[in-house]
Amino acid sequence: MAEIQLKNLSKRWGSFVGVDDFNLTIADKEFLVLLGPSGCGKTTTMRMIAGLEDATEGDILVDGTRVNDLEPKDRDVAMVFQSYALYPNMNVYENIRFPLKVRGVDPSTHDEKVRRASAMVELDEFLHRKPAELSGGQRQRVALARAIVREPNMFLMDEPLSNLDAKLRVSTRAQIKNLSHELAVTTIYVTHDQIEAMTLADRVVVMKQGVVQQVGSPTEIYDRPANAFVASFIGNPAMNLMDGAVEGGTFKAEGVEVKGLTAPDAKTTLGFRAEDAEVVESGGQINAPIYTMELLGEATMVSVRIGGSLVSVKADKNYRADIGDIVSIKVPMEHCHLFDAETGERVGG
């Protein structure tokens, strides 16, 4: 069991703030993803939990016990790094076995534990090979097996898929998802890839410049982003955001007029997702010339320019038009999101 509590956790280097007043309780067996751009503090947060960085302020509690002063080896965590961190002179079997030797686990149990871990990540036929003889995906699976064999209280994974190509990322992501279900161990996973966050997480923590922006399930964060930053970071493509103003319940911008909004008169950013809008022959709230079109296979992405923003909408895969043609885009009011133009915070419900 491992419930992790982070209380007023901060990390500073001189005047630079890496993590600012982070508060969160991570439930036992939860798969939590820390998501954000480079430099947002997500890896620093993980390293403080692991004991690889000292917290400037705040407490880290595991099952109610403060662990700030414990050495990394005494925190019962297993880490999986972006760089694999394998021993090149050892074969796969010995790489997986290594944590058991270091921790003084009964040698008579090693073989069974190593083979069980390797079977979980489908490495049985590669146990005799050295890391140099493996593909990137296979090396990452060795790193996973080495973490699994420890049977730790919690897994910490720092961008484990970022060195893999797109196809391998999909298959290894599926493997991690299945493993998390099978092992049922508290897992904290760091990534800048919102697709990984959406597909793997029980809950997502979105961070920016050391500050937590929103915590919620992938669905909550996707459907109701707390601010314009979260809206722009989650989704593929990201949510369309247009700067304008609300006047008498109508949002107005160049080529845009969305009526029936319950929001105060003010400079406002309107957001909606590409899949929630549609291209219509006439009568849409947005009318603008086509800037570009992309055939995605299952749909055609049509983009127009509104002021300085590129606005995209998914049309039928058979939709055809030319760049420069005027299109009309209909955005259902229930799928509109409004954000304060100054603070970026969500306006209304």
Give me the chain's average pLDDT, please: 93
Q: What are phi and psi of 278, to 5 degrees?
A: -145, 150
Domains and CATH numbers, the chain: 4-228 (3.40.50.300), 240-347 (2.40.50.140)
The pTM assigned to this predicted structure is: 0.91
Q: Is 283 left (phi over 0), alpha (psi -120 to 50) or beta?
A: left
54, pLDDT greater than 80: yes
Beta partners for residue 155, in sequence order:
78, 187
Secondary structure class of 222 (helix, strand, coil) = helix
pLDDT over 70 (residue 139): yes
Find the radius of gyration of the CA atoms of the chain: 24
Q: Which of 13-17, 68-72, 134-138, 225-229 has the lowest mean pLDDT?
A: 134-138
pLDDT in tens, 178-232: 888 888 999 999 999 999 999 999 999 999 999 999 999 999 999 999 999 999 9
* 345 vs 341: CA distance, rounded Å: 8
Strand order in the sheet with 4-13: 16-26, 4-13, 57-62, 65-66
Q: Does residue 349 register a pLDDT over 90?
A: no
Structure-token match 């419930």, residue found? 3
The H-or-E segment that residue 293 falls in is strand 286-295
Question: Above 90 in pLDDT, residue 121?
Answer: no
Say what the pLDDT of residue 262 is: 86
The type of residue at 10 is S
Two structure tokens written together for 312: 């995209």
| Structure confidence by residue, pLDDT tens digits, 271-322 | 999 999 999 988 999 999 999 999 999 999 999 998 888 999 999 999 999 9
